[in-house]
Amino acid sequence: MSDIEEVIKKIDECIQELDRYKYFSSEAWTAIDYLGKVKNMLRNLNKENAQQILGILNEMIRQGQPYSSFIPRTIENLKFIREWLEKKILELPS
């Protein structure tokens, strides 16, 4: 499995965990929508996309932190993806 495939798998895990809250929380719907956009951006990864994704991830982690006891896997996966992307960005073309 490539590293991008692993990241996409982690995004899918986040979506799965958030899915059970989407009927109670508009934030869950928004997060799922953003995660779908991140998946698409990862398929065409360049420095510009990576910077945008980092911004999205940082905001999602910030907003999700108060709910971390409800969505622990999501927070953990988002932090993993952010760390991976921070390293990966150095290898990417502009």
Secondary structure of residue 81 in the 3-state scheme = helix
Q: How far apart are CA 82 and CA 60, in angstroms?
A: 11
pTM comes to 0.93
Tokens 């760390």 identify what position? 83
pLDDT in tens, 34-89: 999 999 999 989 999 999 999 999 999 999 999 999 999 999 999 999 999 999 99
Q: How far apart are CA 28 and CA 34, in angstroms?
A: 10
Domain extents in the chain: 3-91
